[in-house]
Amino acid sequence: MKVLKTVWIEGQLTIGAWNSPKESDETAYKLFEVKSGDTDYSLIVQPELFSSNIGALLTTNLVLRANIGIPVKLLGRVLYLVEDISSFVVCPYLIVES
């Protein structure tokens, strides 16, 4: 399936974590996601590129990562769909709080 489209996405910026059943929550891979309606977008981004230092949330305690839902508008390149997790992988170009 070839997607490769540059689009605007509006939704809630949140944090997701992916791990195998044998791993603990603390060792899980953490990433930023945008949830827009019934569609999830997993962002490929370096945390240090956030000028607001929001990227530090990926390494904070689980208590501080709970209930994050920042309204954003994102311009990004949708690369492909990961069917196993029903999420599109996106390379963001610009993220603006809305």
The share of the chain scoring above pLDDT 90, in percent, equals 49
What pLDDT, on the 0 to 100 scale, is given for residue 19?
Answer: 78
Q: pTM here?
A: 0.83
Model confidence at 41, pLDDT cuts 50, 70, 90, reads very high
Do the beta carbons of residue 72 and residue 98 sit within 8 Å?
Answer: yes
Distance CA 87, CA 80 (A): 9
- Assess contact for 58 and 30: CB atoms under 8 A: yes
Residue 45: which of 31, 61, 27 has the closest Cα? 31
Can you give the CATH number for the domain in which 79 is found? 2.40.50
In this structure, are strands 87-97 and 39-43 parallel, antiparallel, or unpaired?
Answer: parallel
Range of the domain at 33: 5-97
Q: What is the pLDDT of residue 38?
A: 94
pLDDT of residue 25: 67
Count of domains observed in the chain: 1
